[in-house]
Structure 1
Amino acid sequence: MKSISRQFSNQQFFSFVRKEFYHVMRDRKTLLILFGMPVAQILIFGFALTNEVKNTRIVVSDYANDPASRRITERMAASNYFDIERRLVSHREIESAFKEGTIKLALIFPAQFNESLSHGNSAQIQLITDASDPNTANTLVNYASSIIRDYQAELNMLHSVPYSIIPEVRMLYNPQLKGAHSFVPGVMSLILMLVCVMMTAISIVKEKETGTMEILLVSPFKPMLVIVSKTIPYLILSLINVVSILLLSVFLLDVPVNGSILLLFAESTLYITACLSLGIFISIKTATQQAAMTISLMGMLLPTVMFSGFMFPIENMPVPLQVLSNIVPAKWYYIIVKSIMIKGTGLALLWKETLILMAMAIFLLTISLKSFKTRLE
């Protein structure tokens, strides 16, 4: 009897296990989480989480145009680290290219470079880099200096007299290589994204859960005015956050604000509007505060950290991830804030990023309001 009972118990156990397997295999969402998420995370994190710098756009200003300068330039172009964007002549063009953000490094050969190296056994090369991101600037200088040293070593092997090529390094915008210059714009974009999205989503979902949203909607006000009135306090509070971050940055971290304060606040207002609109959309699509909290926190934190350019260089990611980063509002706001605060750039050079951010804000606000009206009907 005991053996029969044990056998029946085992059959029940295995039948329950088999039933659970059937449930899992029939549920496509569960299968996607079990098998799709690990693959996606490994691929995204494996390609995105890297501090290695590759294919950096640089310019060359060759006043010598002699065999030695051309050989070094060819070695720079042949490496995987640099892509020569263009060849410039004047320092004004170089400074303009840095402010536009199109280059990260400039290589400048003085006149009679080869003659100084041949007759004086020593020559200088100037390396100018954008130090608004100090980690990237140091890495690029080390790469360029290594290529120059390799060329110098080859010369010394062929000649009995030792040659010396001395890189003269100039760090633009952040000569002391302070990390706060890159840290503050990134933290601003991250904090505003999380606070605006999360607070707006939770606020509206709370009204829906308690049943007070229906009372508001039957009032004489239009639904759009109700939603906008819910977001205005968070817009004002977020701008106060911007003021507090800037005060702490300037007076405690010695981060300058070289550009227009009014432009910085206007761009911040635009970014906050986009974030609030995204929070409205999440609140409309979710039914509970817990769901809204999870989506707004986890769904916004990882894209902002990974694809804004704050922590990891976007240029080093595969092309699909670079394309994906373009839909992250924090990427464009980070570029804008860093350009205004550190480089002193004006709207004339930031119009493209501003238009993209404006288009995102309008798009998110439009689909949020339309989704809300459809839900009510």
Structure 2
Amino acid sequence: MKQFFSFVKKEFYHIWRDKRTMFILLGMPVVQIVIFGFALTNEVKNSQIAILDNAKDEVSSTIITQLDASKYFEIRQNLHSYPEIEKAFEAGKIKMAIVFPQNFSEDLHHLNKAQIQLVADASDPNVANILTNYATAIIGDYQRRINTNTMLPYTIDTETRMLYNPQLKGAYNFVPGVMAMVLLLVCTMMTAITIVKEKEMGTMEIMLVSPMKPIMVIIAKAVPYLLLSIINIASILLLSVYVLEVPINGSIVLLVFESILFTLVSLSLGLLISSGAESQQTAMFISLVALFLPTVMLSGFMFPVENMPLPLRIISNIVPAKWYYSIVKSVMIKGLGLKVIWKETLILTGMMLFFLTLAIRKFKIRLA
């Protein structure tokens, strides 16, 4: 038994000295439970909405106060005309708009019936359905309270209008998310093992004695994967349009340009990982663990980012897939142009330059 415990003790020493193993054993469960615990929820909270109150009476003010007091809504804008609703949606500032007609209170008290319009952004059909159901429930609760002491019941009808995706097809949300996830993971994982593979195979010496500069070596590594990624982009778009029946409402040239830009970000990140990793297993592990979970959880594809606590919302800003997902939804689903997505485009461009610069700096021109 003494010999057995000696081997156990030795194994503990090996684990303790290997910091990566220690992180996997002790750190990853903590990270996963925090991310999954806060991100995995079907509840939609703190959704930003706009109000177009044409009535401006006591009844509409009371309903607006109740909406604002709930944990589900946060009033971002008070609009003054119907055309402002579409502009607010195009700018990505709101998820839903609530419209009160001009004679709302008079219709309710004299005709015992009034109507409220709910206009939702259905590019994410699940969120649109949940928000309209929340708003309908709050309005229904107000209706039940005012009917407590009345002989003739008051009725408040809600008319729902779904923008961008009136049929509420899930593919409208699924396609942009899959494009972001596929391009990021495939491009990053493939390029993450390119440089480190040369080290393990012993062919790096040949590359280092060549007259090419390190930046040219790194770019040469990325070019084949860029060309293959362009084929992936084309196949995804063709399948989306002709199989899943998701239309490209905006400029296809702009959409392809943004997809290539995102591919370059992914390739640069993969090259950075490959330049710093010591083995293919390490490079693949970093690619999977460091990118897969944030891409799925923090990009807004699976779960709305605004539902998450402030620290996770801040961290989501460094996830490239979040910005590309927003771009694809804006161009492909909403039919918007560069004047709306310029900020996301600049952020992706900055990320590409940052990752590529770091990859070049970390590229070792000497093996020893």
TM-score norm. by structure 1 comes to: 0.93
Q: How far off is 1:297 after superposition?
A: 2.5
RMSD of aligned residue pairs (Cα, Å) = 1.8
Runs of 4+ in 1 over 6 A off after TM superposition: none
Letter in 2 for 1:356: I
Alignment match, 1:99? 90
The worse-fitting range, judged by mean Cα deviation, of 221-230 and 243-252 is: 221-230
Alignment match, 1:123? 114
Deviations 1:274-315 (A, max 9, x none): 100111011111232222222223322111101110001110
Letter in 2 for 1:253: L
Report percent identity of matched pairs.
62
Q: Secondary structure at the match of 1:61?
A: strand
Q: Secondary structure at the match of 2:291?
A: helix
Do structure 1's residue 136 and structure 2's residue 127 form an aligned pair? yes
Alignment match, 1:86? 77
Do structure 1's residue 221 and structure 2's residue 212 form an aligned pair? yes
TM-score norm. by structure 2 comes to: 0.95
Higher Rg of the two aligned structures: 1
- Cα distance in 2 for residues equivalent to 1:30 and 1:287: 15
Q: 1:226 to 1:15 in 2, by over 3 A?
A: closer
Deviations 1:219-238 (A, max 9, x none): 12212112101211111111
Q: 1:238 to 1:39 in 2, by over 3 A?
A: same
Letter in 2 for 1:116: D
- Cα distance in 1 for residues equivalent to 2:5 and 2:279: 37
- Taking the TM superposition and a 5 Å limit, the aligned residue runs for 1:51-90 are 51-90=42-81
Deviations 1:150-197 (A, max 9, x none): 011111112111111000000000000000000000000000001111
Deviations 1:262-282 (A, max 9, x none): 111111111111100111011
Q: 1:15 to 1:288 in 2, by over 3 A?
A: closer
Q: How far off is 1:211 after superposition?
A: 1.9
Q: Secondary structure at the match of 2:158?
A: strand
Q: How far off is 1:93 after superposition?
A: 1.1
Q: How far off is 1:91 after superposition?
A: 1.7
Alignment match, 1:327? 318
The worse-fitting range, judged by mean Cα deviation, of 43-52 and 352-361 is: 43-52
Alignment match, 1:299? 290
Match 1:230 to one of 221, 226, 230: 221
Q: Secondary structure at the match of 1:70?
A: helix
Alignment match, 2:334? 343
Letter in 2 for 1:93: E
Q: Secondary structure at the match of 2:167?
A: coil
- Cα distance in 1 for residues equivalent to 2:289 and 2:171: 25
Match 1:41 to one of 11, 14, 32: 32
Alignment match, 1:258? 249
Do structure 1's residue 362 and structure 2's residue 328 form an aligned pair? no
- Cα distance in 1 for residues equivalent to 2:81 and 2:67: 20
Q: Secondary structure at the match of 1:158?
A: coil
The answer on whether the counterparts of 1:260 and 1:344 sit within 8 Å (CA) in structure 2 is yes
Greater per-residue helix proportion: 1
Match 2:199 to one of 194, 208, 219: 208
Match 1:195 to one of 186, 192, 197: 186
Q: 1:317 to 1:226 in 2, by over 3 A?
A: same
- Cα distance in 1 for residues equivalent to 2:175 and 2:346: 23
- Cα distance in 2 for residues equivalent to 1:27 and 1:195: 28
Q: What 5-or-longer segments of structure 1 have no aligned partner?
A: 1-9
Q: What 5-or-longer segments of structure 2 have no aligned partner?
A: none
Deviations 1:224-254 (A, max 9, x none): 1121012111111111111111111111111
Q: How far off is 1:206 after superposition?
A: 2.2
Letter in 2 for 1:276: L
The answer on whether the counterparts of 1:51 and 1:313 sit within 8 Å (CA) in structure 2 is no
Q: How far off is 1:376 after superposition?
A: 5.8
Letter in 2 for 1:369: I
- Cα distance in 2 for residues equivalent to 1:23 and 1:222: 39
Letter in 2 for 1:314: V
Q: How far off is 1:316 after superposition?
A: 0.5
Match 1:145 to one of 132, 136, 141: 136
The worse-fitting range, judged by mean Cα deviation, of 19-28 and 189-198 is: 19-28
Q: How far off is 1:344 after superposition?
A: 0.9
Q: How far off is 1:138 after superposition?
A: 0.2
The answer on whether the counterparts of 2:214 and 2:365 sit within 8 Å (CA) in structure 1 is no
Letter in 2 for 1:60: I
Do structure 1's residue 108 and structure 2's residue 94 form an aligned pair? no
- Cα distance in 2 for residues equivalent to 1:235 and 1:141: 42
Q: How far off is 1:23 after superposition?
A: 6.0
Deviations 1:294-349 (A, max 9, x none): 22233221111011100011100110011111111000000001100011111111
Q: Secondary structure at the match of 1:352?
A: helix
Q: 1:107 to 1:371 in 2, by over 3 A?
A: same
